Structure 1
Amino acid sequence: MEEQNINGIEDLLLRYCEGDVTEEEYQLVENWVNASEKNERVAKQVFSIHLAIDSVQILKKIDTEKALKKVSSRIVAKKRQIGWEWFQRAAAILFIPLLVSFLMQHFFIADTKEQVAQLIEIRTNPGMITSVILPDSTVVYLNSESSLSYPSRFDGNTREVFLKGEAYFEVMKDPSKRFLVSTMYQSQIEVLGTHFNVEAYEGGENVVTTLVEGKVNFLFKKNEQAHAVKLKPGEKLTYNSKEGKVRLSATSCESETSWKDGKVILKNTPLWEALHMLEKRYNVQFVINNRKGLDDTFNGTFTNERLERILDHFKISSKIRWRQIEDANILDRKIKIEIY
């Protein structure tokens, strides 16, 4: 494709998704997508989010400051009824144009032979889930309030990415290049090709790795000495960074990975762990003032249920009580809920 067409491909791809192209432009996009695997990856990234573009256009017509004040006043009038679903959708919509521009910019910069590999960072807003295809075709699902950094191309014999938060990896097999996920507290997950989940939020003590299929090595340092623990499918590893201890347990993997499908699945899940899952799913913060019943286990699958209904389910089963904590700062990012 000619240089002027390459420079304008971002706008052309978006109009192509909307069906707003001429026959000549349609053929131009088709030829460009089929020209290389890199072009096809970029197109898939853009196409995967095109369904939300209409929402972005509508959002542009709104006076966001006025709308925010209106929403804030409604929250005050209703004593701040729980409204995380609205914020979750808004966060996803606002993120879309940034993601499209970000992907296009870095893929095309990396396409210049003289240009060194660029470090790309993808972030998710609170209550949001997204996915990204890495240069080697590895697929990564990124959970709420997480970030993933990776090079625009993998040089040498190592594919290394950096994770803060939680992500599910479907690693493309390449025996000549090992895949490394670097996380908090000088820990890494080493793989050749597998499906696994990693949770390593900044500020937390634990790094948790759940292996769905394949093989991984969990690498960490204790007293300046390197250690490695091998995981088998159906195993969950919890590494406590303060104590330097590793604990392995068996799991069906459903509870740990259901977030990527927009679900909360509980399989003999302790209440404290279920609350942690709900914090990420609904962008709330639980304040625990009654620890009774936190070890009670639950089973169930929740997809589109409101958080109030899920908490009421716990209330009936474990006799816990909950209430929303009033906060003077109505623009606080997280709604706080007391468990008492």
Structure 2
Amino acid sequence: MTEYNNYIAKLIGKYLEDSLSAEEHIELTEWINASDNNRHLFTEMTDKQQLTTHLQRIYAYDSDRIAQKISAKIPAFGDPKIVELQPVSFLKKWGWAAAVAVLVLGGTYYYRVHTKEQPTNLATNQSPIMPGQQGAILTLADGRQVVLDTLSGGLIASQNGASIVLADGKLVYDPTSAGNAEVQYNIMTTPKGRQFELTLPDGTKVWLNAASTIRYPTAFTGKERKVTVSGEVYFEVIRDADKPFFVSIDNKAAIEVLGTSFNVNAYENEHSIQTTLVNGSVRVGVPIANQSKILNPGQQATIVNKQITVAEIKDLDKILAWKYGLFNFDGANLEEVMRQLERWYNIEVVYENGIPNTRFIGEMSRQIPLTDLLDILKKTEVDFRVEGRKLIVLNK
């Protein structure tokens, strides 16, 4: 668990220096809330007075050995002689992040000498990896980021006159007071382990699956409504024949809409871009290849290597399962299943001894702990081992 310990130590250090990114803030919060032990440890390691005292004791005992250990683990800290400085000088030069790393990496040695207790392992008695939940990061026009998970509701911000309100766990834009100033753009991002619902300024409803992004104006003031997406997003577009709705997928594909419901799957680590139409009508195109296809309800456009193919979809429920809190693994191979788990449980998947040739059928709830889901998958020719937030797939 050393690698995971080091990563949590890094997050705690960045917390002390107030330099956590929005995504890191979410990860650290999840770790803190995973167990009482984690909460207690976090409280201790963020008490700067205690941190300084621990450093003084470590340096007083055996600075050379601690220095060698830290230097070997974290070369970026530079010359190991730095630990010969007094703790106050150390903190001025290297900061709280380095101090936390000193305690984690040198802590085993320190605790064995000075106490009868075993050193605390940040990953000891690992709590179950819980499923994803509602949450997202909102990036405002000026670059400020708001972690929506941490807010209870109410007015979030005003952008170019439009009010942004969080209500019932959903973000809604009210453009009634929007002026004629330059158009401003917001970005909503769902990290791994999060999904969220958004209502755009025109009333269009948007659902973001995990690890997805949408960029949109705070008011649709022109003759068109344009948004850009990545990952997986479901739309229910408000019809407006005088102001068509366009979805751009990282300049790789474009969708023209009048009023309709459809799903877009455009993850970078998937082999294709898929647009599935539930009702209404859309035109899916590849601008760089000057190609386009019109879809009817129940059809799916797949883009691979700038080529579009259209097929009938017999089971729309499979495509939309994520929106209704389900995994649908019908016909999926192991890699496809693991990519879904990576995004929803915020884990890294590693294959040991190759990738088993296994396919799955059936639906499962997305609201169960990872261990419960793995117990079901183990009934196939696959086994698993969990280390921190790393899932190791074993070929039986």
Q: Equivalent residue for 1:260?
A: 323
2:310 matched to 1:248? yes
Alignment coverage as a number of residue pairs: 265
Aligned to 1:77: 124
Matches within 5 A, 1:1-340: 66=42, 75-78=122-125, 80=126, 82-85=128-131, 94-97=147-150, 103-106=156-159, 108=161, 111-202=177-268, 204-221=270-287, 224-240=288-304, 243-249=305-311, 250-288=313-351, 289-294=353-358, 296-316=359-379, 318-324=380-386, 326=387, 335-340=390-395
Which stretch of the first structure deviates more once superposed, 230-239 or 129-138? 230-239
| TM-score using structure 2 length | 0.58
SS at the partner of 1:76?
coil
Equivalents in 1 of 2:262, 2:363: separation in Å?
Answer: 22
Q: Supply the AA of the counterpart residue of 1:165.
A: G
Q: Please tell me whether the aligned partners of residues 283 and 335 of structure 1 are also in contact (alpha carbons under 8 angstroms).
A: no
Identical pairs, percent: 27
Q: TM-score, normalised to structure 1's length?
A: 0.66
Cα distance in 2 for partners of 1:247, 1:305 equals 36
Matches of 2:281 and 2:320 in 1, distance apart? 17
Q: 1:165-209: CA deviations, max 9, x gaps?
A: 211101111111111110124311111111111122245542121
Matches of 1:153 and 1:225, distance apart in 2: 31
3-state SS in 2 of match to 1:321? strand
Return the offset for 1:139. Answer: 0.1
1:192–1:65 Cα change, 3 Å: farther
Structure 2 CA distance for aligned equivalents of residues 67 and 201 of structure 1: 38
Match of 2:159, SS state, is helix
Does the C-alpha gap of structure 1 residues 235 and 182 become closer, same or farther in structure 2, counting only changes over 3 Å?
same
Amino acid at match of 1:146: S
Structure 2 gap ranges (5+): 1-28, 47-103, 105-119, 138-145, 163-174
Structure 1's unaligned 5+ residue stretches are 1-54
Contact 1:129 1:260 in 2 (8 A): no
Cα RMSD over matched residues? 3.5
